[in-house]
Amino acid sequence: MTSTKSGERLQNILSHLSSVPPPPPTTMSYFSAVPQAPADGILKLSVLSRADSHPAKVDLGVGAYRDNDGNPWVLPVVREAERRLHSDPNFNHEYLGVGGLPALTSGAQKLIFGKDSPAQGRVYSMQTISGTGANMVAAVFLKQFKEPSDASVYISKPTWGNHRSIFETAGHKVLEYRYCNYETLKLDIDGMLDDMRAAPMGQIFVLHACAHNPTGIDPTEEQWREIAKVMKERGHFPFFDCAYQGFATGDVDSDAYAIRLFVAEGFELLVAQSFAKNMGLYGERTGCLHAVCQSPSLLPQVSSQLNRLSRATISTASAYGAKIAGAVLEDPELYGEWLMSMHDMSKRILAMRWLLKNKLAKLGTPGNWDHVTEQIGMFSFTGLTKKQVEALRTEYHMYMTDDGRISVAGLNTHNVDYVAESIDAVIRTVNV
């Protein structure tokens, strides 16, 4: 009897187990096919620098202005604009319109094109997430509406590290045109013009308006006229990236020469504009995108499409930095003070160039260092090799990009001797 009951219980257990569904098969993650993206060189460099606590550390990698003590500098005019904002009883954090803050967009348009520009009445200006956002909106817009539809985007060799990523992400084929002569560290104007002539008709060329990043090498006014002539002959479309207006020469009008020349020559064009550097509004992400059309009649359709893209990506741009920049651009007193601050920043950077060059000359450092003072703006393309850069980082706690670009704004009277001596040492000891 006991044996029968045990058998029944065993049968019941086996029957129950057979009715339990098997566990689901192991499945791969939805994201398992996502490849690892290559590391961003600048961001990686920032992480390494922040982790280095050595007292002699010098960070020449990040493109941000520093004062003579190596500290971030909040422009006095920005502090005053902020004070006025916070003392205004109507100050709030409401959404801006899709096109951005009118005080910013109208002021930015006058700054980049000039008060009496022949483009007046046929420019649409919209607020963006700094210059990067302007580049991205422009890239997507061009992908959707470029003529011819298979036009490639040409970027300078070298260029800002994000240009290729932005335009490829938007779906463009990205090619390079010659820009830097790596032997002389000067502009390869012949190679640049030859590449523009060789490109199929109607291609898109990304041009740095001033203070070329990463080389600090700018065309002369005569060379800009040659560039405009060839681009007009070939029907190329100019896309200007202007992140350093006022930083190159200390004069906002001189730094806008190329853009104003192309407008005067009758080009339709796009301009990405940033206030990160020249107002020190790095984290506020304040910028604009400008579209110069052939006729005012084209503005409604162009503006509608740009607004649609902005709405689809960021909805509306951020207000705080826009209100600061808008106040500075709109108020004559603040604007004049801002121009003086930019002149001071540009002057300090130029002084650091001469200190570095003179120190290298005094040390008898192998090579010709004239390019340090011939280049312009925040950056200098030193000509140091990747091996030499690595040696500077590991042995001397000095941080710069692998291509030898330094942010001259990171130099000061306290560290320039150490920088020069370290460069001298690695040039003498590290094989190219």
What is the spatial order of strands in the sheet that 204-208 belongs to? 123-129, 286-292, 269-274, 237-242, 204-208, 153-157, 174-178
| Inter-residue contact 10 to 3 (CB < 8 Å) | no
Spatial separation of the C-alpha atoms in residues 62 and 43, rounded to whole Å: 9
Residue type for position 19: S
Spatial separation of the C-alpha atoms in residues 224 and 226, rounded to whole Å: 5
| Inter-residue contact 164 to 157 (CB < 8 Å) | no
Residue 173 designated active-site: no
Question: In the prediction, which pLDDT does 175 show?
Answer: 98
Residue 402 designated active-site: no
- Is the pLDDT reported for residue 17 higher than 70? no
Angle at 260 between CA 256 and CA 265, to 5 degrees: 155
Question: In the prediction, which pLDDT does 42 show?
Answer: 83
- Is the pLDDT reported for residue 14 higher than 70? no
> Which residues make Cβ contacts (< 8 Å) with residue 143, sequence separation at least 6?
170, 171, 172
pLDDT digits (tens, 9 = 90+) for 385-424: 999 999 999 999 999 999 999 999 999 999 999 999 999 9
Spatial separation of the C-alpha atoms in residues 17 and 348, rounded to whole Å: 81
Residue 241 designated active-site: yes
Spatial separation of the C-alpha atoms in residues 125 and 305, rounded to whole Å: 13
pLDDT band at 2 (very low <50, low <70, confident <90, very high): low
Which candidate in 241, 255, 331, 403 is catalytic?
A: 241
Per the prediction, the chain carries an average pLDDT of 94
Query: How far does Cα 198 stand from its chain's mean position?
Result: 27
Lowest mean pLDDT of 22-36, 104-118, 242-256, name the range.
Answer: 22-36
| Inter-residue contact 279 to 245 (CB < 8 Å) | no
- For residue 308, give the H/E element and its range: helix 299-313
Query: How far does Cα 246 stand from its chain's mean position?
Result: 15
- Is the pLDDT reported for residue 22 higher than 90? no
Which candidate in 195, 224, 255, 277 is catalytic?
A: 277
Which candidate in 59, 73, 160, 224 is catalytic?
A: 160
Spatial separation of the C-alpha atoms in residues 132 and 291, rounded to whole Å: 16
| Inter-residue contact 299 to 56 (CB < 8 Å) | no
Spatial separation of the C-alpha atoms in residues 341 and 327, rounded to whole Å: 16
